[in-house]
């Protein structure tokens, strides 16, 4: 009798179909933002794809946002040319100067999402701006810069100096992310679940 009840009980999915769809959509968004191609002004190309990473964290929260970035990176690693400039394959995660930034995207999406969740339901502009700078720039650079220095054989301070060129564009992406995320959370407040007094991702 007990075995029959267990067999007939519905299985619980790790993620609902709606969440899986959102993860897939944002992974596709990150890929689509690579279509304009990279701007090569240094060893690491400037692309719009980091904007998609910020969107994923700020709009979906830490769990779904990180999973969206992870899905994109897995598809890239198996060879799909999803990075700007039609790049893909395991090589971009190992010897490429940009390898650390790809790993940093995972941390960046998580930190941005974690902090964004704690700013809801109001998501005020200035705190959200600071949260997105910390996650979308600080967390990504934290991994990206040392790995770039290692892969290029550069002193760490030299690598930091090379990243100064990225800051103006990244700050613009942060502002765009916050403005878009504020509107999205106002229109669709359930994207990040808010249990009781604490704001955490579902």
Residue 45: per-residue pLDDT = 79
Pick the CATH number of 17-33+42-187 from 1.10.1760.20, 1.10.150.120, 1.20.120.140, 1.20.1250.20: 1.10.1760.20
Shortest CA distance to 97 belongs to which of 45, 38, 140, 151? Answer: 151
**pLDDT band for position 193 (cuts 50, 70, 90):** confident
Taking the C-alpha atoms of residue 82 and residue 75, their distance in angstroms, rounded to an integer, is 8
Please list the residues that pair with 39 across neighbouring strands.
46
Asked if pLDDT for residue 196 goes beyond 80, the answer is no
pLDDT tens per residue, range 146-156: 999 999 999 99
Residue 12: exposed, middle, or buried by beta-carbon count in 10 A (0-12, 13-18, 19+)?
A: exposed
pTM score, whole prediction? 0.88
């Amino acid at each position: 009798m007990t075995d029959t009840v267990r067999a007939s009980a519905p299985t619980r999915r790790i993620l609902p179909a709606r969440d899986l769809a959102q993860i897939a959509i944002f992974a596709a968004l990150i890929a689509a933002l690579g279509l304009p191609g990279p701007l090569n002004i240094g060893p690491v190309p400037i692309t719009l794809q980091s904007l998609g990473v910020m969107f994923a964290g700020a709009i979906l929260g830490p769990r779904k946002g990180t999973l969206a970035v992870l899905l994109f990176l897995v598809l890239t690693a198996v060879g799909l040319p999803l990075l700007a400039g039609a790049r893909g394959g395991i090589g971009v995660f190992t010897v490429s100067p940009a390898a650390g930034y790809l790993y940093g995207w995972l941390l960046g999406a998580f930190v941005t999402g974690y902090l964004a969740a704690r700013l809801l339901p109001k998501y005020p502009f200035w705190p959200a701006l600071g949260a997105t700078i910390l996650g979308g720039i600080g967390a990504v650079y934290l991994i990206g810069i040392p790995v770039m220095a290692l892969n290029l054989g550069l002193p760490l301070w030299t690598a930091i100096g090379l990243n100064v060129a990225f800051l103006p564009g990244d700050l613009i992406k942060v502002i765009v992310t916050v403005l878009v995320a504020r509107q999205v959370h106002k229109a669709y407040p359930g994207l990040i679940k808010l249990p009781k007094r604490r704001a955490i991702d579902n």
